Amino acid sequence: QSVLTQPPSASGTPGQRVTISCSGSSSNIGSNTVNWYQQLPGTAPKLLIYGSNNQRPSGVPDRFSGSKSGTSASLAISGLQSEDEADYYCAAWDDSLNGVVFGGGTKLTVL
Amino acid sequence: EAQLVESGGGLVQPGGSLRLSCAASGFTVSSYWMHWVRQAPGKGLVWVSRIGTDGSSIRYADSVKGRFTISRDNAKNTLYLQMNSLRAEDTAMFYCARAVATTRNAYDIWGQGTMVTVSS
């Protein structure tokens, strides 16, 4: 049971816009920044979105964007491409647990 | 180019110990917040531990507290995770990760991972 809640799966067709939600509480998302990672099969995760201004590391396309409201956050992917098929994780520091908490992950399928 | 390379994983019996290493290149480990994250086969990411730039600011997940110890060797530019009293539920791929310089826990550099299997 993960501290942050994500839907286990999501899907979309090429070119479509999809969003993945991440729900937490006042001790994590409500008071700290949310980071998003993409994990392709058999590889290490890759940072997509981070920081209070939802920044993208160099090399991450602007098709990926993040937002936060209260104790929930979302990752949006526009212009969906086949190579976006992967697992996506949200994460944040938790002030009560004194550690980083992850969502359970969302498997994105491009139909 | 910044890079992390883990080693030290393997098969160990329940109750045994392992020390994981994470060798950094292209940057100085002591200048960044460094973390360990694990992933059981077919499961999600789970945070394990972190060490701050000051060498303290150390934190552990409750599931490993008292059994795992994070440390670093500045001269070798290497991060470590000493794991004692290993349990079957510790079986996972272990990743070391570097936090973005302006943050403490957004991981921009990951190692390739080292697999730890706890089984008799």
pLDDT digits (tens, 9 = 90+) for A45-66: 999 999 989 999 999 999 999 9
Interchain pair A99, B61: CB under 8 A: yes
- Residues of chain A positioned with their CB less than 8 A from the CB of B105: 35, 91, 93, 100
Question: Has residue B79 got a pLDDT over 90?
Answer: yes
pLDDT at position A56 is 96
Per-residue pLDDT at B55: 87
Distance CA A13, CA A15 (A): 6
Sorted by sequence, the CB contacts under 8 Å of residue B62 that are 6+ apart come out as A97, A99
Residues B110, A102: C-beta atoms closer than 8 Å: no
Are A57 and B104 a contacting pair at CB < 8 A?
A: no
Q: What is the mean pLDDT of residues A11-21?
A: 97
Say whether B106 and A104 touch across the interface (CB within 8 A).
no
φ/ψ of B46, rounded to 5, equals: -135, 125
* pLDDT for the residue numbered B52: 94
pLDDT for position B70: 98
Q: How buried is residue B57: exposed, middle or buried, by Cβ count under 10 Å (0-12/13-18/19+)?
A: exposed
**What is the tens place of the pLDDT at every residue in A67-78?**
999 999 999 999
**Both structure tokens of B8:** 């030290």
Q: Which residues contact B30 (CB under 8 A, 6 or more apart)?
A: B53, B55, B72, B74
CB contact residues (below 8 A), chain B span 92-111, against chain A: 95, 100, 102-108, 110-111
Q: Say yes or no to pLDDT of B21 above 90.
A: yes
Please give the pLDDT value at position A1.
86
Q: Is the pLDDT of residue B102 over 90?
A: no
Q: What is the pLDDT of residue A104?
A: 98
Provide the pairing of β-strand B114-118 with B10-12.
parallel
For chain A, what percent of residues have pLDDT higher than 70? 100
- Contacts of B49-57 spanning 24+ positions with Cβ under 8 A: B49/B81, B50/A99, B50/A100, B50/B99, B50/B104, B50/B105, B51/B79, B52/B104, B55/B30, B57/B33
Please give, rounded to a whole number of angstroms, the shortest distance from the CA of A98 to a CA of chain B.
7
